[in-house]
Amino acid sequence: MFFGSLSPLDHPRDCRSFPFALEDLVEELTRGNVTEVKVVLASVVAALAVYQVLLMAVGYGKLRPPFLGAAPASAAHRALGDAIVVVTLAVAFMCLTYFGFDEGESVLHAVTGFLLLAVLAVKIAVVRWWHGMSRFLPVLGICVLLLFAVTWASSAGDFLIGGPE
């Protein structure tokens, strides 16, 4: 969900594609720590995505822990999924409005970020309306996890490991 450089000190204003008012809003909300807030939120949703896969493995009966049944695991997966989507959209909003698009190494990040949003939208549609396609939910879920991982690694992970370069 991070399009462009994550360095707070390397942030060319002319590369931004959105009105400055939105950038100011994001900056105000994060008290100037846009990058740091984004890294924390993205790391939270990435970690929760892994937990979601575990919950659904219980939901589908692939894992059978004695303390958690399939139905509560599925219900928790659904509730948590709604929260993850909201946070993911917030991070995407911050990326697009504050960092915009940047040619170069962030192309992979931008592509996986957009793919992630697209697959999430399809998954939500299948869960809520397109019940006939429910057999694709495990594949969609694994795709979401992989896209979360690559999107996080190409930006937040890179920032955490390599620093703000």
Partner 1 sequence: MREPSHARQMVGSLLVAAAIVAIVIVVVTLELGPTSVAELEAEEERRDARIERAEERRELQEERRDR
Count of residues of this chain found to bind partner 1 when the rule CB under 8 A is applied:
27
Mask of contacts with partner 1, 74-103, x by CB under 8 A? Answer: -xx--xx-----------------------
**Stretch touching partner 1 by CB under 8 A, among 69-77, 90-98, 102-110, 136-144:** 69-77
73 binds partner 1 (CB under 8 A): yes
Nearer to partner 1 by Cβ, of 76 and 137: the residue is 76
HEC string of the chain equals CCCCCCCCCCCCHHHCCCCHHHHHHHHHHCCCCHHHHHHHHHHHHHHHHHHHHHHHHHHCCCCCCCCCCHHHHHHHHHHHHHHHHHHHHHHHHHHHHHHCCCCCCCHHHHHHHHHHHHHHHHHHHHHHCCHHHHHHHHHHHHHHHHHHHHHHHHHHHHHHHHCCC
Mask of contacts with partner 1, 1-40, x by CB under 8 A? Answer: -------x----------------------xxxxxx--xx
Mask of contacts with partner 1, 46-65, x by CB under 8 A? Answer: -xx--x---x----------
